[in-house]
Amino acid sequence: MCQSCETPAATTADEAKAAGLDFVVQGMTCGGCATKVTNAVQGVSGVTDVTVDITGGKLSVTGSADEAAITAAVEGVGYAVARA
């Protein structure tokens, strides 16, 4: 419990989800690709932040979204994806 605002402390699972999930996305080669992936992942329930690195082919997602839902969103716009 937070002593200042009396908010319950985050559980380890909550902290892990808030820390984010990292993925490798194959086939992203331009800003348009990054925008497609970003928009698809932002549409997943529970996603609070999305960061895409085109050069490294990396995707970082913060929030409480399910890994399978994120993977399905990326695959749905035509890219292969795997956990980093």
Domain 12-83 has CATH 3.30.70.100: yes
Q: Nearest-5° angle of CA 36, CA 39, CA 42? A: 145
Alpha-carbon distance of 46 to 39, in angstroms, equals: 14
Helix (H) or strand (E) holding 60: strand 58-63
Q: DSSP letter for 27, please.
A: S
Surface-to-core class of residue 4, CB atoms within 10 Å of its CB (0-12 exposed, 13-18 middle, 19+ buried): exposed
Given a cut of 70, is residue 65 above it in pLDDT? yes
Arithmetic mean of pLDDT, 54-81: 96
For 13-22, the pLDDT digits (tens) are 555 445 699 9
Alpha-carbon distance of 41 to 61, in angstroms, equals: 8
